[in-house]
Amino acid sequence: MNKMQRSMGSVFVWLGAGIPLLFICAFVSGFMGSLIGLYLAYSRELPSIPDLRAYRPKTVSTFFSDDGSVIGL
């Protein structure tokens, strides 16, 4: 086998390994880009952590025990 045939064979080996690797890298980067895009889209409307800690929702129902005291607060 001469040098030209050997080098052409190695090119095909690299192409055979490189093309699937390229598709895998493209898929992973697209998936990660989608996750980052979703995070950025939804995080705009989320409150900050200190606001969540101070949040006190209005109570819809008040529960009383048998002796008349409020329970569940």
Where are the chain's structural domains?
A: 3-71
C-alpha–C-alpha distance, residues 24 and 6, integer Å: 28
Residue 73 has pLDDT above 90, yes or no: no
pTM: 0.50
Segments in the chain forming alpha helices (H) = 3-43, 49-53
Instruction: Return the pLDDT at 46.
Output: 84
Question: Tokens in use for 54?
Answer: 């101070």
pLDDT tens-digit readout, 13-52: 777 778 888 999 999 999 999 999 999 999 888 888 888 8
Residue 69 has pLDDT above 80, yes or no: yes
What's the average model confidence in pLDDT over 55-71? 84
